[in-house]
Amino acid sequence: MDRMLMVIFDNETDAYEGKRGLMYLDAEGSITVYACAVIAKRPDGTVTVRQEDNVGPLGTLLGTALGSLIGLLGGPPGVAIGAAAGFAAGGAADLNNARIGEDFLDDVKKQLSPNKVAVVAEIEENWTTPVDARMEPLGGIVFRRALSDVKHQVHEENINAMKADLAQMKAEQAKAQADRKAKLHEKINQLESKIQVQLQRAKDRREAAVRQAQAKAEVLKAKAAAAKAKAS
């Protein structure tokens, strides 16, 4: 199952050890790590990325569910995330791209208090014991949530609702008097522009999801091939 994982530690030493533990589990085949980063909460409430893996199948955190989650925790998403990059708390958030529920976000925000350090990762795991058994001895508090496409479905429903409004306006315009036609024409143009923007965003999200799915499939394929070669 594709999951968002967040493990909160009291200090950087334990967090880095926790990250190494994830990499070990990935190497032995217990889980698959698609993207991973170590973040820290400063006393002033800002979040910094201490360390990220940008050589994995998802490349940079930019545009990924993990990158969006980091943005939600400390600042604006959709920006290039580099080592020690800082984010102002309370920035714009994109829960849709993070693909997790608000309750998950609330839970991790409560635990990620100032001076805490966390390992955040997008992983594939079939059972929770391997990760929990690695993190708990280090004092890590583990949060996980299966990634969902529900938000994308809601987005499509919103576009359909806007299209329904547009059809109604056009029907009204056909029967309206001249002065009313002009006002409806302006509203129709505005709504059509909004729909085009939403359609482009939906297209961008679908294309990004396809690219990420392909990258993940290649990782799993390579792992299977390595395991087969090792067994032969």
DSSP 186-230: HHHHHHHHHHHHHHHHHHHHHHHHHHHHHHHHHHHHHHHHHHHHH
Residue-level pLDDT at 96: 60
pLDDT of residue 118: 94
**Do 40 and 113 share a structural domain?**
yes
Q: Report the distance separating Cα 186 and Cα 9, nearest Å.
A: 55
Q: Note whether 137 and 155 are same-domain residues.
A: no
Number of domains in the chain: 2
Query: Domain end: 146, 169, 188, which one?
Result: 146
Same domain for 129 and 61, yes or no, is yes
Domain boundary among 96, 128, 146: 146
Q: What confidence score (pLDDT) does residue 95 get?
A: 57
Do residues 97 and 209 both lie within one domain?
Answer: no
Where does a domain end: 117, 146, 175?
A: 146
Both 104 and 174 in one domain: the answer is no
Name residue, tokens 């992983």.
123
User: Do residues 19 and 100 both lie within one domain?
Assistant: yes
For 220, the domain range is 150-231
Do 133 and 200 reside in the same domain of the chain? no
pLDDT at site 155: 64
Both 37 and 60 in one domain: the answer is: yes
pLDDT for position 42: 86
Query: pTM of whole model > 0.85?
Result: no
Whether residues 176 and 132 fall in one domain: no
The pLDDT profile of the chain, 232 residues, written as one tens digit per residue, is 788 899 999 999 999 999 999 999 998 889 998 888 899 988 887 788 886 664 344 445 545 677 778 877 874 344 434 333 444 433 334 556 667 777 788 888 889 999 999 999 988 888 888 999 999 999 999 998 887 654 555 567 667 777 888 888 888 888 888 877 888 888 888 888 888 887 887 777 777 677 777 777 787 788 788 877 877 7
* Pair 139, 165 in one domain: no
Same domain, 71 and 177: no
**CA atoms 146, 83, 74, 64: torsion sign:** negative
> Quick one: 72 and 115 in the same domain?
yes
